[in-house]
Structure 1
Amino acid sequence: MTNHEMIASTKIDLWQQLYSTWLTTELFSFTWWFSVLFLVTSYFIWWKLLEKSKLVELLLFGSLIAVMSAFIDLIAENLVLWQYTVKILPFSPAFFPFHLTLAPIALMLVYQYSDSWNKFLMYSVIAGGIYAFAIIPLFVLVGEVRLIHWNYFNNFITFLARAIFCRWILLQCLQTQTSYQGHSANRQFFKPICQPTSKPVHLPKEDYDNPKK
């Protein structure tokens, strides 16, 4: 048996054990129901508060947060910084309720109501405090997650780091988009939540005198 075959066999055995544990211990437990109800409520509140006209921009920002969060979680799990004890679905990532739902939802709302860096930083600090010092301890209390070589302050710092970095990335993308829209003859006007700084496009005088050639 080759190494690849041994790895595949081990994965099958591990999956069977994980699925058996999920089916007999995790499914419909108090922690499982708590997670499901918490997520449903979070999505409901988010959808009610969401500015639907900016849906694409907000989802792009939320996706950036989710991707970065998943990367951080992959590193943390390999270093055994924390551990998840309950999954909502047997094949879903264990970090789904936190890094792919709660953090992106919270920061999408922060982004939505922030048209400047000052507002964004202030709201991010507030949201990060609630997330790190209220929501995470609550999930620790009900047994959803167990912190091993980690603490709540570290959650707060990484929350802010994700927020700042992803907003900066998105602003760079909007800056690039704006510059190309300025040179496009058949452009569609798009007004993002966060207006990137760009120089106005000045048309030659003859274009104003003869708009249709």
Structure 2
Amino acid sequence: MEPIANENKVREVKQFYDRVAEVNADYQEYWMEHSFGHWDFWLTLFLAVIPWLIWFIVRKKENQGRLLLAGFLMLIFSSWFDFLGVVFGLWYYTIGVLPTIPSYVTWDFSIFPVLTMLLIQFKPKINPWLKAIGFSLINAFLGEPLMTWLGIYVKENWSVFYSTLYRSIYCCI
């Protein structure tokens, strides 16, 4: 049975995927030589694991489902925005825990969701808008500059003011 897809389109798209696979292979080689086992690798691994251990210890079990849902929503929104920022060349990360997953996973799958869950658990009475704005300001004006200074986060066409705005929006969703 003949596929419906245009054969030229399939061949042209394959060329893009072949280039992506080649770049990924090059990056994996680079990562093994210049990232794996270095201080920034250990810092990133630490930041990926420790927040979840802390949350597991201090979480209120009776609110666990609600908190995990909030953390999951934060994970979805933050990783989507990070994906778009990296794809459009607005910023990039110089280190990842593994070369086969996006390097922003540490931040979007660990730090942001866990901080969100802890804020909800320990400051439930504070207005969600105020929490979102505070979270955004701390992240944009302390977190981003610190990660930039460490050489882990590199802004290309981005400003901390944009980060404050977009993080405030997705923190409130």
Provide the TM-score with structure 1 as the length reference: 0.69
Matched, 1:110 2:119: yes
**Does structure 2 conserve the Cα–Cα contact (< 8 Å) formed by 1:85 and 1:146?**
yes
Residue 145 (structure 1) aligned with residue 148 (structure 2): no
Q: What is the alpha-carbon distance in structure 2 between the residues aligned to residue 163 and residue 24 of structure 1?
A: 37
Cα deviation for residue 61 of structure 1 reads 1.1
Deviation at 1:74, TM superposition (A): 2.2
SS at match of 1:86: coil
**Aligned counterpart for 2:72 among listed residues 41, 57, 63:** 63
| Aligned-CA RMSD value | 2.0
Counterpart residue type for residue 151 of structure 2 = G
Q: Aligned letter for 1:130? A: I
Task: Summarize the Cα distance change of 1:48–1:156 in structure 2 as closer, same or farther, 3 Å threshold.
Answer: farther
1:73 pairs with 2:82: yes
Pick the aligned partner of 1:128 from 107, 111, 136: 136
Q: Percent identity?
A: 20
Distance (whole Å) between structure 2 residues aligned to residue 136 and residue 41 of structure 1: 19
CA distance in 1, matches of 2:167, 2:59: 21
Report if aligned partners of 2:47, 2:111 keep a CA contact under 8 Å in 1. no
8 Å Cα contact 2:47-2:110 kept in structure 1 = no
Match of 2:4 in 1: none
What is the letter of the counterpart of residue 170 of structure 2? Answer: R
Post-superposition CA distance 1:51-107 (Å, at most 9, x none): 122111111111111111122122212221101111111112111122222111111
Tell me, yes or no, if the aligned pair for 1:124 and 1:163 is still in contact at 8 Å. yes
Q: Distance in 1 between matches of 2:122 and 2:132?
A: 11
How far does residue 5 in structure 1 lie from its aligned partner after superposition?
3.1
CA contact (8 A) 1:22 1:90 kept: yes
Query: Which residue does 1:161 correspond to in 2?
Result: 169
- Measured in 2, the distance between the counterparts of 1:7 and 1:115 equals 48
**1:127 and 1:8, CA in 2 relative to 1: closer, same or farther beyond 3 A?**
closer
TM-score by length of 2: 0.83
Counterpart mapping for 1:6-21 below 5 A: 6-21=15-30
1:33 to 42, 48, 51: 42
1:54 maps to what in 2?
63
* Structure 1 residue ranges (4+ consecutive) displaced by more than 4 angstroms after TM superposition: none
Report the Cα offset of residue 11 of structure 1. 2.5
Give the direction of change, closer, same or farther, for the CA distance of 1:4–1:87 in structure 2 (3 Å limit). Answer: same
Give 5+ residue unaligned stretches, structure 1: 166-213
State the aligned residue count: 164
Q: Which runs of 5+ in 2 are unaligned?
A: 1-7
Question: What SS does the aligned partner of 2:127 have?
Answer: helix
Match of 1:84 among 86, 93, 100: 93
